[in-house]
Every structure is written in C-alpha cells, then in structure tokens.
Amino acid sequence: MKIVTTIQEVRETVNAWRAEGLNVGFVPTMGYLHEGHQSLIHKASKENHRVVVSIFINPMQFGKNEDLDSYPRDLERDRQICFSAGADLIFYPSREEMYPEGFSTFVQITGITETLCGKSRPDHFRGVSTVVTKLFHIVKPDRAYFGQKDAQQAAVIKRLVRDLNLDIEIIACKTVREPDGLAKSSRNVYLSKEERAAAAVLRKALTLAENKLVSGERKAAEILQEMKEKICAERLATLDYVEIVDLETLEPVRCIEAPVLVAVAAYIGKTRLIDNFIYENIA
Amino acid sequence: MKIVTTIQEVRETVNAWRAEGLNVGFVPTMGYLHEGHQSLIHKASKENHRVVVSIFINPMQFGKNEDLDSYPRDLERDRQICFSAGADLIFYPSREEMYPEGFSTFVQITGITETLCGKSRPDHFRGVSTVVTKLFHIVKPDRAYFGQKDAQQAAVIKRLVRDLNLDIEIIACKTVREPDGLAKSSRNVYLSKEERAAAAVLRKALTLAENKLVSGERKAAEILQEMKEKICAERLATLDYVEIVDLETLEPVRCIEAPVLVAVAAYIGKTRLIDNFIYENIA
C-alpha cells in the first residue's frame, strides 16, 4: 500500500492499473477512520481489483462555527486501518493541492440539499459535492462507497452522478454501530462519558419509529411526535430535527405509502450527531 | 460517421475506441455550424484518432429574453460539415436526454463569470459550465476544442477544468472571420443586409485598439474611449461593453503591462454580437 499527496501521483498510479485492465473502487473519507470506514474499504476491496482511499478534511464543507479546526486526526492509525482493510493507495492531499489559489468553481445541487441537515448547514453539501466531484475526476473509479449513516450525503452524491452523467456506480453501505446502537462516527470521540451514554438516544428514537411503522402506523406526525418526546426527555440532548422523507426527493412525507427515510439530528452536549434508517416494508 | 441521440450510444462507441487504444477529440457546439466550427473539427481530427461533435442547443445557457426559440438549426447541413471536416460521431441529444425530470445540479464558477458577458447574461456561464461538464463526462475526451471568439467561455472552461481536476486538454482556436473582418457566428444569420454591413464595426473597433497598443498606448481608458466612439458612430450599433481585462482573472486592467484580452459586445439591430483579440506583445 502506497500513500501519496499529489494529484499527479494518483493519476499515474491509477493509469498504470487501468493499463493492466484492473478496475478501481474508491472510498472518500475525512480520516480518523472507524469500523464504518473499515467496512467500506473492505467491501470495495472485495468488489474491485484495486482500492483508493482519500483522507482529506475538506474545509469547504464546514460552516463558520463548526469543528474544522478540532476535527480529529490520526494518520498513522488510519494508515493501519486502510492497510488491514485492503486499500492499495491512500491519497492524502494538502489543502493547497485541492484548492489552489484562485479556486472558484462549485458544484451545487438544489432541492435535496435544502432539507434535513441542509437547513442547519446551508453550505455543507455544496462543499461535499464540489470535493467529491474533484476526487472522482482525480481517481476515476468504477465504484465509490459511502456510508448510509450519512443518508442525505449518499442521496446528494447519487443525484450528482445522475445529473452530471458521471460513469461511476455509487454504493451506499450499511451503518456500523456500537453495541448500544450508537452509529459509528469520527465525532463520537468528542463525547464525554456521560454524553456517550446519552448519545444512544438517537438510535432509541429511531427504533421507536421503526416499531410504530412495523405495527402499522402511517401518519408521519404521530411517529415524529413520539421521537421528539424521546429525544427531549434526554437531558443532554438538544434536538436539531426529526423527519420522515421521500427516499429520492428528501421531501417530507405526511402519510407513509412508499419507502421512506426516517432521519434524526441532535446535539449531545456540543457534539452534533446524525442517524437514520430506511423503511421499505410498506404493505 | 455515425449520428446518435443517447448518452448510452456515445459511451458504447467511445469505450470501443478506447479499447482499441484510440484517443478522442471533442467539439461541443449548438449546431448551425460555420467555418469556425469547421476549423475546430478539422484541427481535432488532425490531433486525435477519433472526433466527437455534439450538437445541442442548451436551454440552460439562454436568458429569459434571449433567442432560445429562434436559434437557427439545420441538422442536414451540420451533418455534411461534420463529415467533411473529419468527425467520426455526432451526439445529437434531446432536451430530455440531457435534463431528465428532477434535474437539479449546477456547476457554478464565481468571479470570471461576473465580468464582460456575465454582466448582461447573469446565468449564461452557469448553463455553459454545467452542460460542458455533463458532455465531458459523457464523451470523456482527451482534448476539447473551443473558439477563441468566445474568449470568456474559453477562460471559464479552462478554469472549470483546472478547479475540478478534469483530465482534459482545452484548446482555444483562432477566430475565423468574414472577408470584412466580422467574426463567424451562427447568429450572423439574424442580420439584415444593412445590419450585416454595420456589424463590421466590432472588428474595426478592435483593429483601432490593436493599432493604439502597437503604437505604444498603455492607458486602457484612452483606448476604450476611442473604441466606444467608433461603435457609437455606427447608427445600427448599440454598445453593450468594451473592456480590456487580464487574461486569466478577466478583471479590468487600467495600465497595460502584461498580455490582455480586448473584448467588445454590441447589439446590431436586435442581434447581440461579440468579438475580441489577445494582445501579448508587451515590450
């Protein structure tokens, strides 16, 4: 496994693979890898001849008062996780390599970026779609792997690929969880011991929603109300949103008659966490 | 030479060429081809094994009161010009093929799209950079050819390619002119006989500027003043802008100390025409 910092080196490596007729899987990350990333890399290595992992904390997707400066990093640990999960190349660029002076091009998706996390993070998805477009052009993968934990991000990337005719298969992979149900996230490291225990409330609210759906409840308002109460009952939690939305448009659904995404975002202390599930078993 | 209407057919054709080790040149157009386009296709066919020409009147790059509906078209003539200039494939998609329902992704470049034509055509370059990004993803060319007559467009595409790390060489080609100096344009067909004669004033104003530069004038304001007077003296002409700008940033230059773009836009009757030249011989 190689680690490179320039676009030129990625191009040369991938072009050499291509010349041998090998296909390429890609896992874009911001580093501080956990079992969720590990599962993406592992899946990519099973489905492709070669796997590229990018590690880049993308400033463009952080809001002004967000955690860009404190975002956790540990390259040595990341390198070991990539290696053991089956990566062949790590792309670890500097900010200057990705955003040279005079950079002024943005990929913007309207509609689906304005709901859910887009409401409290207005420029976030513009940053995500811009950096992912760049990374897709640099790596030119056949397949790219994203975690379903970031459900809106996965929907945005799928829309981007469809609308801009990128010839890349996007694969959204199952969320990996802690034993108490908390979704794996690099940001979980911010939580104090007390907050860590409280954070399980996100998954508990989702399980509650799932149970109501299984038992036949079809009014979104009823389900959302119980989810809100569950989260607000947790002293350390501050609700950002709970929503039940259409899988493709991400627009709110009132009466559940087709598969939906049930999504939640909440602050646990100062740490913003998200989680979700897709409910498809509509009778 | 084949003509195809679906993205899938372009992909299959180009992939088959790639598999044979052939490289690909690309000339994106809106059709109603003239000797300018012809020269691009001819150059592309000399520099690449295979050449793709797209013919698509892109609604996204037209403003509300612009000439989308009246834009001239003649597919049979275009087909003959493509064939004789050396094209191997024409991509002639429908609007639905390019913009399926729910389309909501845009490629936006700030700064250089806000000067010159961007002032009077605020969404034009967003439409251009979005459709060109799509076409680049569909055709995956090694080289793409644009006319220098649309100097700002060429600068925008170069910025797009640089900022988004597209692995495509952009080649801006010399403007082809009528005997009286008028730049070839599909829109010249709109001109009445009287307007056609008057339209030569754009090139005359540019020649005047070039002469002043050659004779040592370095104050942009002096040169611009004479250009304005020249154009305003033509009864059928209404000035949109004359500008002297930096080649890369397209920002106005006051004192000419490095290569510059001298650009003009004017209405001749109701037809908006543009022209320009690059002055590089700075002593």
**Is residue A60's pLDDT more than 90?**
yes
Q: Cα–Cα distance between A52 and A224 in angstroms, integer?
A: 40
The CA-based dihedral angle spanning residues A246, A250, A254, A256, taken in that order and rounded to the nearest 10 degrees: 20
CB of A31 closer than 8 Å to CB of A53: no
Contact B129 A105 (CB under 8 A): yes
For residue B122, how many other CB atoms are within 10 A of its CB? 12
Residues A64-123 have pLDDT tens digits of 999 999 999 999 999 999 999 999 999 999 999 999 999 999 999 999 999 999 999 999
Distance in Å from the first CA to the final CA of chain B: 48
The pLDDT value given to residue B250 = 96
Domains in chain A, CATH or no CATH each: 2-173 (3.40.50.620), 186-276 (3.30.1300.10)
Query: For the stretch A255-269, what's the b/e string if a residue is b when 16 or more beta carbons lie within 10 angstroms of its beta carbon?
Result: ebeeebbbbbbbebb
Closest by CA position to B180, among listed B212, B202, B151, B209: B202
pLDDT band at B282 (very low <50, low <70, confident <90, very high): confident
A52 contacts: CB under 8 Å, gap ≥ 6: A10, A14, A24, A25, A26, A27, A87, A88, A89, A90, A91, A139, A141
B82 strand-pairing partners: none
**Is residue B158's pLDDT more than 80?**
yes
Q: Which residues of B touch A109 (CB under 8 A)?
A: 104-106
Greatest Cα pair distance, chain A, in angstroms, is: 58
User: What's the mean pLDDT in B42-59?
Assistant: 98
B18 is in an annotated binding site: no
Find where tokens 């493709």 sit: A248
Q: Cα–Cα distance between A125 and A198 in angstroms, integer?
A: 28
Query: For the stretch A200-212, what's the b/e string if a residue is b when 16 or more beta carbons lie within 10 angstroms of its beta carbon?
Result: bbbbbbbebbeeb
- A104 touches B: beta carbon within 8 Å: yes
Contact A111 B103 (CB under 8 A): no
Q: Which of A138, A142, A165 to mutate to test the interface with B (most CBs of B within 10 A)?
A: A165
A32, with CB counted inside 10 A (0-12, 13-18, 19+), is buried
User: What's the mean pLDDT in A30-56?
Assistant: 98
Q: Which residues of A touch B138 (CB under 8 A)?
A: 165
The pLDDT value given to residue A44 = 98
DSSP string over A154-168: HHHHHHHHHHTT---
**Percentage helix, strand, coil, to 5, in chain B?**
40, 25, 35
Question: Number of A:B CB contacts under 8 A?
Answer: 77
B30 SS3 class: coil
The pLDDT value given to residue A283 = 66
Q: Which residues of A touch B160 (CB under 8 A)?
A: 105
The pLDDT value given to residue B53 = 98
A44, with CB counted inside 10 A (0-12, 13-18, 19+), is buried
The complex scores an ipTM of: 0.95
The CA-based dihedral angle spanning residues B57, B60, B64, B67, taken in that order and rounded to the nearest 10 degrees: -10
Q: Cα–Cα distance between B136 and A175 in angstroms, integer?
A: 34
User: What's the mean pLDDT in B57-67?
Assistant: 95
Contact A105 B104 (CB under 8 A): no
Q: Cα–Cα distance between A235 and A232 in angstroms, integer?
A: 7
Nearest-by-CA chain A residue for B105: A109
B53 strand-pairing partners: B27, B90
Name the percent of chain B lying above pLDDT 70: 100
